[in-house]
Amino acid sequence: MGRRRPPDFIEEIKAKQRNTVWPEMQANSRAVDSLIFLGDRNATPVQRIGIGLFGAFFVLAGIAFIGIGRDLHSVAPFLFSFVAFLLGGLVLFNAVRGRWSDKGGDRQRR
């Protein structure tokens, strides 16, 4: 690698940071939220695995809240566990629904 001219370097840094400023960041955040909570039929296997792990975390949190509620003899942790199970189930469902392509990254419709 040679030394870069300062204007090229500055433009490269600006291009890399474009998704971290407000308007683009909001669009990226909306895309991730819709992928997790609404699902995407064309999601890649890596995205599906990540969403599945995220959903499994909520299911495990629900199990933990059941244990806490049983130890404390309180209803509130049971309500939290119910919400965590519902959220985890929704996210896990979105991870497995849709078409799993044979080729990783095959996002073309047939």
Count of CB atoms within 10 A of residue 80's CB?
Answer: 17
Check residue 12 and give its pLDDT.
Answer: 78
Check residue 110 and give its pLDDT.
Answer: 46
Strands (E), the chain: none
Q: Is 65 within 8 Å of 84 (Cβ atoms)?
A: yes
Check residue 1 and give its pLDDT.
Answer: 53
- Predicted model pTM: 0.65
Strands (E), 33-93: none
Helices 45-72, 22-37: crossing angle, 10 deg rounding: 70
pLDDT averages per 10-residue partition of the chain, 110 residues: 68 74 74 84 87 94 94 93 94 82 51
Q: Is 89 within 8 Å of 59 (Cβ atoms)?
A: yes
